[in-house]
Amino acid sequence: MFEGFQQTRVDVGEASIFVRFAGDGPPVVLLHGHPRTSATWHRVAPRLVKAGHTVVCPDLRGYGRSRGPRFTADHAGYSKRAVAGDVVAVMRQLGHDRFAVAGHDRGGSVALRLTLDHPDAVSRVAFLDCLPLTEHLSRITTEFATQWWHWFFFAQPDIPERVINADPDSWYRGDPDVMGPENYEEWRQATRNPDVVRAMLEDYRAGLTVDRRHEETDRDADTRVTCPTLVLWSLKDDLEDLYGDPLAIWRRWATNVRGHGIDSGHHVAEQAPEALASDLAAFFQPDPADSDQR
Digitized pLDDT (tens) for each residue of the chain, 294 residues in all: 999 999 999 999 999 999 999 999 999 999 999 999 999 999 999 999 999 999 999 999 999 999 999 999 999 999 999 999 999 999 999 999 999 999 999 999 999 999 999 999 999 999 999 999 999 999 999 999 999 999 999 999 999 999 999 999 999 999 999 999 999 999 999 999 999 999 999 999 999 999 999 999 999 999 999 999 999 999 999 999 999 999 999 999 999 999 999 999 999 999 999 999 999 999 998 766 544 443
Q: Is 24 exposed, middle or buried (0-12, 13-18, 19+ CB in 10 A)?
A: exposed
Question: Which residue among the candidates 34, 117, 118, 266 is catalytic per the annotation?
Answer: 266
Q: What is the pLDDT of residue 293?
A: 42
Q: Which of 183, 202, 234 is nearest to 36 (CA)?
A: 183
Q: Which of 111, 130, 110 is nearest to 122 (CA)?
A: 111
Contacts for 243 with CB less than 8 Å, ≥ 6 apart: 131, 135, 139, 249
Which residues face 55 on adjacent strands? 22, 28
What is the per-residue burial (b if ≥16 Cβ within 10 Å, else e) of 271-286? bbbeebbbbbbebbeb
Angstrom CA distances, 261 to 11, 187, 279, stand at 37, 26, 11
Q: What is the pLDDT of residue 288?
A: 60
The model carries a pTM of: 0.96
Identify whether 35 is preceded by a cis peptide bond (ω within 30 of 0). Answer: yes
105 in catalytic set: yes
Q: What is the pLDDT of residue 294?
A: 37
DSSP 60: P
- CATH number given to 6-284: 3.40.50.1820
Question: Coil, strand, or helix at residue 58?
Answer: strand
- What is the identity of the amino acid at 119? P
75 in catalytic set: no
Question: Which residue among the candidates 105, 203, 211, 218 is catalytic per the annotation?
Answer: 105
Q: How far apart are CA 259 and CA 75, in angstroms?
A: 33
CA 20 to chain centre: 15
Contacts for 119 with CB less than 8 Å, ≥ 6 apart: 225, 226, 227
